[in-house]
Amino acid sequence: MKNILIIGGSKGIGNAIIKQLIEANNIINISRSTPALSHKNLRHISADVLEDELPEIEAIDTLIYCPGSINLKPISRLSLDDFKADFDINVLGAVKSIQHYLPILKKGNKPSILLFSTVATALGMPYHASVAASKAAVEGLTKSLGAELAPTIRVNAIAPTVTDTDLASKLLRNEKMIDNMNERHPLKKFLQPDEIAEMASFLISNKAASISGQIFKMDCGIVSFKI
C-alpha cells in the first residue's frame, strides 16, 4: 500500500485519480475544496498550494500535482498577469510542492512524481499561448528533474487532449460543441477523467519502474495523425 500525495484532487482529473487509487493506497489530498468522497484511506487537508504553507507529512511514496488552467484568449487580450497566473498554478505550484516534499519523497518506497501538461505544447492551437507556454515549462521540468533525481525518484508527465471536466466545460457546453470536439480528433472522441486516471495509476506503479522523464500524450490521435 503506497502513500500517495495528490495536490488538487477535489475535482476533475485529480478526483478521478483518487477514485482509481483509493482502495489500495493511503491518499492525502491537498486542495482548497474538499473532495465529494469519504473513505478510510483518504485524508483531506484544506490549503491553497500557492498561498499557504504546505503541511508536514510523515511518509510519501508518490506526489501527483494536478492543478491546471485553461485560459484561452487571443494574444492581444492576454495580459502579463494572465501569463503569470498560468505559470504560477502550472509550474511554480508544482515546484513549491516538489521542493517542500522532496526530502520525505526520497525516503519513500520506489518513489515517483507525476505532473500534467497538455497536447497544446506539441500542436499549435490558436488562443493557447499562455497555457501552452506554462505547460511547456512543465515538460521541461519533468525531463530535467527526471535526470536530476535518477535513480531514486522517477518523474513523468501526462499531456491530455480536451477532457470532460469542469475546467473544460466552456469547450463542451452544448451538443454541437461536443460533436465538433469529437470530429476534431481522429479517434472521434475526447478524454474522460477515468482514462487519465488509469494512465496515472500505471505510471506511478512498479510496472513503470523503467520509465522516467517521459511525456505521455493522451491525444485521441489529434497530435499523432492527420486523417
Q: What's residue 160's pLDDT?
A: 96
In order, the DSSP letters of 112-162 are EEEEE--GGGTS--TT-HHHHHHHHHHHHHHHHHHHHHTTT-EEEEEEE-S
d(CA 152, CA 202): 18
Tell me if residue 29 falls in helix, strand or coil. Answer: strand
DSSP state of 222: T
For each of the domains in the chain, give its residue range(s) and CATH number, in order of start. Answer: 3-163+192-218 (3.40.50.720)
| 67 pLDDT higher than 80 | yes
For residue range 23-42, what is the model confidence (pLDDT) as tens digits? 999 999 999 999 988 899 99
Looking at the DSSP bridge assignments, the partners of residue 42 are 27
For residue range 155-209, what is the model confidence (pLDDT) as tens digits? 999 999 989 887 777 778 888 888 888 898 999 998 999 999 999 999 999 999 9
| 211 pLDDT higher than 90 | yes
For residue range 76-118, what is the model confidence (pLDDT) as tens digits? 999 999 999 999 999 999 999 999 999 999 999 999 999 999 9
Q: What's residue 175's pLDDT?
A: 87
Which residue has 485529480 as its cell numbers? 14
d(CA 64, CA 82): 24
β-pairing verdict for 3-7 and 62-65: parallel
pLDDT category at 227 given cuts 50, 70, 90 is confident
* Mean predicted confidence (pLDDT) in 67-74: 89
pLDDT category at 132 given cuts 50, 70, 90 is very high
In this structure, what C-alpha cell is assigned to residue 31? Answer: 486542495
Q: What's residue 219's pLDDT?
A: 94
Whole-model pTM: value is 0.94
d(CA 91, CA 137): 7
Q: Residue 19, class by beta-carbon neighbours within 10 Å (0-12 exposed, 13-18 middle, 19+ buried)?
A: middle
Higher pLDDT, 146 or 70: 146
| 221 pLDDT higher than 80 | yes
Q: What's residue 167's pLDDT?
A: 75
d(CA 153, CA 144): 12
| 224 pLDDT higher than 80 | yes
In this structure, what C-alpha cell is assigned to residue 182? Answer: 469529437
Q: What's residue 58's pLDDT?
A: 95
Residue 23: in which H helix or E strand, if any? none
In this structure, what C-alpha cell is assigned to residue 113? Answer: 512524481
What is the distance between the terminal CA atoms of the chain, rounded to a whole angstrom?
44
